Amino acid sequence: MLHRLVTNEGEDAMNRGLSAGALALALGSGIAWAQVPPAPQQIAAALLAAPKGLREDATVLGYTSEGTLVVLRKGTGPMICLASNPKEEQFHVACYHRSLEPFMARGRALRAQGVTGDAVDSARFAEVRAGTLVMPAQAAMLYSLTGPAGSFDPATGTAPKAAPLFVVYLPNATPASTGLSATPVEGGPWIMLPGTPKAHIMFEPGM
């Protein structure tokens, strides 16, 4: 499970909010947007990714019955949480520090324009270096839960089949600046994409 989400540390799944064009493609492919869970259920599931002490005031993004990504709940706290995308086969929810929102939102916008794969990060990295996209000056946390479809149980408000992943963004961090290895390791932290604006520390459960 080490590489379950490490390629994009959960961020790709978080950034698949749909534009009108993407929505049309989704509808054309037979996605049943009418099956989108009601807002309270999306909120409850999304908040599971965050530590309990940070859930009450978190902002939650989720989906309308048309498949549009919207703010389901406006919060005043430091966390932004994203509901599971009904277009995806797996269950995936995530919460990240508010300071990461410009980076995350830009990823969503680029993907809505049809930009894919490494080109998304290439575009964002160029914007960060140009000073038009701001990354947090401090460490910023991201929490996620990923599991098979149906992982969230509305009756109990839990997702026992979903596995956690923890990520600490440290833009431009390197093994030399942190003392962390850039080699993936089971049961311990390591640094991914070192030396880039998206450098982050990976934590797998079971440490």
pLDDT single digits (tens) 138-179: 999 999 999 999 999 999 999 999 999 999 999 999 999 999
Instruction: State yes or no: pLDDT of 30 exceeds 80.
Output: no
Among the ranges given (19-28, 74-83, 127-136, 147-156), the one the predictor scored with the smallest mean pLDDT:
19-28
Instruction: Provide the pLDDT for residue 34.
Output: 52
- Assigned token pair, 6: 């490490």
Give the start-to-end residue ranges of the domains of the chain: 11-149
| DSSP H helix total and E strand total for the chain | 6, 8
95-139 confidence digits (pLDDT tens): 999 999 999 999 999 999 999 999 999 999 999 999 999 999 999
What's the confidence (pLDDT) of residue 22?
Answer: 41
Within 10 A of 115 (CB to CB), how many other CB atoms are there? 16
pTM confidence score = 0.84
The Cα-based distances of 144 to 50, 93, 162 in angstroms read: 8, 6, 9
Which residues are 142's β-sheet partners?
A: 96, 167
The dihedral built from the CA positions of residue 96, 101, 106 and 109, taken in this order, carries a sign that is positive
**The two three-digit tokens of residue 36, written as one number:** 């989108």
